[in-house]
């Protein structure tokens, strides 16, 4: 059987390398079983695995490469080609790979990013290949970006050139909409939702005049009920960009996941949001396997005082500054401050820089050894492997999506129309999925976690956040080194 062959090959390889991760062989057997049976499997890896799953996935693929399409990010593809494949070659294992949207002519592993996946699916060239998707918890977000439609000033010009008989009407429409958007903005470079009949009126007009150049043709194919629309404003140039994203891409791409076998990997632990999204996309998971965290010897030190102010209070910004100053003072290692609110993040970063100087930076991968990096949660998840292990992680705001985001607001409105509890159906589960992967580098380094968001202790759902952080031990007060 494929599982037994992959097990023996990998066991020999691990013996030669001296690798100590305890789940290599388990991952290999589960992957080999899924490839042999062509079933739909969800493999929940320990959050601290740090992408050590590569060998367990690739060795079975070396024995059966041609029936699978591997969906990777750009960073993962680079790692595969530059590190993992040469590593296999040193041990006498070869994995033939095919890249690009042209279908593989032979028995080769097909490597795709999400943009290419959408293209080959829409062109019906994916065939019956099994999809292998690492980090499936971020698949919806990646597909949403791949399906995005963007309309800028040059696109308006192309539309006017394609239909000169409507030149004046299109120009007046654009100017009227521009004035409206800039009047509605509350700050520079704001994002303003496109609501009401403005965009629908333009759609109705364009459907009457005949074929339109891209991206207008893509715009006409969208259903406003299933898409979020907003304008990104540039106050410096007094221009704006029309952005469109599908609300739920897994449901929008009906048939991508539920008509073929899939092997999914996640490092977010047990995440109810993944299961809900798959259920909504009508994907039936045949096998779910959860690998336990075996290497954590000490619980995570957690500093989260009771009776902290809530983020919507006037004193919250001052609370963040005072607590962050106390946490950073005297520390010799790297500190990460996580906060998605752009205005509050820049305010906090400036105040900390005034206190600690050039060691405080915003979203930089080249900090000082005792540096302080303020960043968005998404930035930290994408770049933590490029940074030294942090000594502490300061959570200024929990990763709950803000309703000021046009995309989030549109998704919430959709759930309201369906009569669902949008907070416990979407916002909270998505935040809980983010936490394990975000704190994994901290666990490996033996650092401490500080949560300054008063909602952790002040809201009933805060207990679910604490459960997601297990195992942890409370730090009652901050002691000097």
Return the pLDDT at 352.
Answer: 96
Which of 384, 295, 394, 383 lies closest to 338 in space, CA to CA? 394
Residue/partner pairs of 112-117 with CB below 8 Å, 24 or more apart:
112/69, 112/70, 112/71, 112/72, 113/71, 113/72, 113/73, 113/74, 113/77, 114/71, 114/139, 114/142, 114/143, 114/145, 114/146, 115/146, 117/69, 117/71, 117/143, 117/146, 117/256
Residue 463 has a CB neighbour count (10 Å cut-off) of 11
Return the pLDDT at 59.
Answer: 94
What does 316-341 look like in DSSP terms, one character per residue?
HHHHHHHHHHHHHTT--S-EEEE---
Return the pLDDT at 65.
Answer: 83
- Tens digits of per-residue pLDDT, 368-417? 999 999 999 999 998 998 899 999 999 999 999 999 999 999 999 999 99
- Tens digits of per-residue pLDDT, 128-144? 899 999 999 899 999 99
DSSP state of 390: P
pLDDT at residue 296 is higher than 70: no
Return the pLDDT at 481.
Answer: 43
Q: Are 7 and 35 in contact (CB under 8 A)?
A: no
Question: What is the C-alpha to C-alpha distance for residues 395 and 71, in angstroms, rounded to an integer?
Answer: 31
β-pairing, 227-234 vs 191-193, is: antiparallel
Question: What is the C-alpha to C-alpha distance for residues 243 and 218, in angstroms, rounded to an integer?
Answer: 12
DSSP state of 450: E
Q: What is the average per-residue pLDDT within 310-332? A: 94
Q: Are 273 and 144 in contact (CB under 8 A)?
A: no
- Tens digits of per-residue pLDDT, 75-88? 899 999 999 999 99
pLDDT at residue 479 is higher than 80: no
Per mean pLDDT, which range of 165-174, 276-285, 368-377, 460-469 is the poorest?
276-285
Residue 264 or 330, more confident: 264
Residue 264 or 282, more confident: 264
- Spell out the alpha helix ranges (H) of 224-315: 249-252, 272-280
pLDDT at residue 246 is higher than 50: yes
pLDDT at residue 64 is higher than 70: yes
Return the pLDDT at 6.
Answer: 87
Return the pLDDT at 68.
Answer: 92
- Spell out the alpha helix ranges (H) of 147-271: 153-162, 167-184, 198-209, 216-220, 249-252
β-pairing, 239-246 vs 227-234, is: antiparallel
Percent of the chain with pLDDT over 70: 98
- Tens digits of per-residue pLDDT, 16-48? 887 778 888 999 999 999 999 999 999 998 877
Q: In what order do the strands lie in the sheet with 335-338?
A: 360-362, 372-375, 335-338, 392-395, 448-451, 300-303, 472-474
Task: Give the mean pLDDT of the chain.
Answer: 90
Q: Do you know the residue count of the chain? A: 481
Q: What is the average per-residue pLDDT within 458-463? A: 95
290: three-class secondary structure by DSSP: strand
β-pairing, 41-44 vs 287-290, is: parallel
How many CA atoms lie within 13 Å of 178's alpha carbon, on the beta-carbon side? 16
- Tens digits of per-residue pLDDT, 179-231? 999 998 888 878 999 876 778 888 888 888 888 999 999 999 998 889 999 99
């Amino acid at each position: 059987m494929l599982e037994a062959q992959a097990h023996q090959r990998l066991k020999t390889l691990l013996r030669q390398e001296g690798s100590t991760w305890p789940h290599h062989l388990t991952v290999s057997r589960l992957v080999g079983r899924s490839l042999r049976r062509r079933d739909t499997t969800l493999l929940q890896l320990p959050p601290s695995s740090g992408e050590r799953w590569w060998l367990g996935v690739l060795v079975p693929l070396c024995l059966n490469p041609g029936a699978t399409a591997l969906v990777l990010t750009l960073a993962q593809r680079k790692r595969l080609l530059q590190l993992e494949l040469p590593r296999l070659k040193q041990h006498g294992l070869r994995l033939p790979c095919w890249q690009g949207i042209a279908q593989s002519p032979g028995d080769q592993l097909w490597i795709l990013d999400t943009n290419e996946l959408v293209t080959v699916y829409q062109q019906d060239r994916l065939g019956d290949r099994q999809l292998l998707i690492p980090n499936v918890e971020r698949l919806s977000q990646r597909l949403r970006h791949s399906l995005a439609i963007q309309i800028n000033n040059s696109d308006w010009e192309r539309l006017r050139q394609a239909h000169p008989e409507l030149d004046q009407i299109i120009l007046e429409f654009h100017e009227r909409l521009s004035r409206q958007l800039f009047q509605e903005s509350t700050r520079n470079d704001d994002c303003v939702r496109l609501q009401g009949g403005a965009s629908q009126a333009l759609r109705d007009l364009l459907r009457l005049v005949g074929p339109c150049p891209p991206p207008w043709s893509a715009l006409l194919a969208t259903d406003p009920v299933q898409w979020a629309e907003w304008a990104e404003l540039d106050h410096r140039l007094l221009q704006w960009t029309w952005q469109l994203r599908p609300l739920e891409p897994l449901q929008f791409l009906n048939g991508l996941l539920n008509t073929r076998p899939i092997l999914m990997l996640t490092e977010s632990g047990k995440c109810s949001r993944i299961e809900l999204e798959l259920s909504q996309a009508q994907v039936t998971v045949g096998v779910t396997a959860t690998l336990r965290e075996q290497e954590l010897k000490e619980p995570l030190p957690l500093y989260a005082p009771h009776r902290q102010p809530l983020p919507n209070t006037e004193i919250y910004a001052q609370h963040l500054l005072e607590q962050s100053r106390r946490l950073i003072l005297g520390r010799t290692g790297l500190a990460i401050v996580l906060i998605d609110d752009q205005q509050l993040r820049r305010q906090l970063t400036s105040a900390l820089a005034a206190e600690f100087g050039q060691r405080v930076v915003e979203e930089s991968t080249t900090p000082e050894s005792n540096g302080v990096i303020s960043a968005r949660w998404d930035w930290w998840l994408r770049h933590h492997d490029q940074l030294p292990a942090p000594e502490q992680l300061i959570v200024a705001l929990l990763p709950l999506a803000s309703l000021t985001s046009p995309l989030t607001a549109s998704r919430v409105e959709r759930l309201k129309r369906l009569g669902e509890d949008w907070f416990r159906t979407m916002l909270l589960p998505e935040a809980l999925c983010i936490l394990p992967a975000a704190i994994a580098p901290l666990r490996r380094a033996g650092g401490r976690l500080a949560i300054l968001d008063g909602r952790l202790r002040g809201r009933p759902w805060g207990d679910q956040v604490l459960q997601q952080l297990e195992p942890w031990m409370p730090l009652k007060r901050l002691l000097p080194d």
